[in-house]
Amino acid sequence: MKTDSIFYRLFQEFPSIFFELIGNPPETANIYQFASVEIKQTAFRIDGVFLPTQDEANPIYFAEVQFQTDSDIYLRLVSEIFLYLRQNKRQHTWRGVVIYPSRNIDTGERQDCDEFFISDRISIIYLDELGEAASLPIGIATIKLVIENADTAITTARELINRTQQAENSQFPQKQLLELIETILVYKFPQMSRKEIEAMFGLSELKQTRVYQEGKQEGHLEAKLEAVPKLLALGLTVEQIAQALDLDIAQVQQALPNE
């Protein structure tokens, strides 16, 4: 599994982590939607774009995850951003964020983009300089798990799993966070099967707990409700949709798009 796939999933499922990472309140994620954007008629793809859903004063955030050296990274990023802005004609200002595992991977030439760094239009984050995982918010600590070496990753993962279990009123659903940690561990230990990892970190037992099962059921229900408008567009009646998805008619009606 590629690292950028993990970050795409992370930002998609937990957008508040991105805003914590750049020093904004995690609640900022409530006014953004996340997407991976391919720019038309080019070979460019922006790893992640956070589009404001309200208030033109909020900037668009372009996120780039860079785990390999690339001397052209900043020229490429600026080119992608301005092509996107030209094609989409949005009224918002913008910010760029490049995420590196460590400073030594940052080999990008900046002389032609210097004004973007001086003005803080583009900011850089080095994951290994964020601090010790135990002292970080759980979301950011989960990001750091990606760059930990094998020995440290085992200890850190166990601490994160314990913190996830003990967290009360967390902004992150326990089930989703545990699944993300498990996915990162599968990436970190490719020689081990998912079942072996579950056994090693006690995830097998966790998946039998009431909280996890409730989260799983909520996730299934949410997926079913998201399918309702698509089935309606195909011509199915409310009754047919309820039968197909094993839902109550009232649940289907609540998921119908507002006219």
Q: 39: buried, middle or exposed (CB in 10 Å: 19+, 13-18, 0-12)?
A: middle
Res 40: pLDDT: 63
- Average pLDDT, stretch 149-154? 86
Other Cβ atoms within 10 Å of 233 Cβ, number: 9
Res 4: pLDDT: 74
Res 87: pLDDT: 86
pLDDT at 115 over 50: yes
Give the global pTM: 0.76
- Between 225 and 77, residue with greater pLDDT: 77
Res 102: pLDDT: 97
- Between 196 and 45, residue with greater pLDDT: 196
Q: Which of 96-110, 161-175, 208-222, 240-254 has the highest mean pLDDT?
A: 96-110
Tens-digit pLDDT profile for residues 169-219: 667 888 888 989 998 998 888 888 888 888 888 886 666 665 556 665 665
Of 201, 189, 179, 217, the C-alpha closest to 13 is 179
Domain ranges of the chain: 1-129, 147-208, 211-255
- Average pLDDT, stretch 241-256? 80
Q: Which of 58-72, 211-225, 231-245 has the highest mean pLDDT?
A: 58-72
Q: Count Cβ neighbours within 10 Å for each residue of 108-142 and write b for 16 or more, e otherwise.
A: beeeebeebeeeebbebbbbeebeebeebbbbbbb
Q: d(Cα 54, Cα 195) in Å, to the nearest integer? A: 43
Of 2, 24, 36, 29, the C-alpha closest to 146 is 2
pLDDT at 259 over 60: no
pLDDT at 233 over 80: no
pLDDT band of residue 20 (cuts 50, 70, 90) is: very high
- Average pLDDT, stretch 100-129? 96
Res 32: pLDDT: 93
Res 214: pLDDT: 62
CATH of span 1-129? 3.40.1350
Res 212: pLDDT: 57
User: What would the 3-class secondary structure string for the chain be?
Assistant: CCHHHHHHHHHHHCHHHHHHHCCCCHHHHHHEEEEEEECCCCCCEEEEEEEECCCCCCCEEEEEECCCCCCCHHHHHHHHHHHHHHHHCCCCCEEEEEEECCHHHCCCCCCCCHHHHHCCCEEEEEHHHCCCHHHCCHHHHHHHHCCCCHHHHHHHHHHHHHHHHHCCCCCCCHHHHHHHHHHHHHHHCCCCCHHHHHHHCCHHHHCCCHHHHHHHHHHHHHHHHHHHHHHHHCCCCHHHHHHHHCCCHHHHHHHCCCC
Which of 28-37, 109-118, 136-145, 234-243 bottoms out in mean pLDDT, i.e. has the lowest? 234-243
- Between 87 and 60, residue with greater pLDDT: 60
pLDDT at 42 over 70: no
Res 1: pLDDT: 47
Average pLDDT, the chain: 85
Tens-digit pLDDT profile for residues 159-175: 999 998 887 666 788 88
Res 9: pLDDT: 85
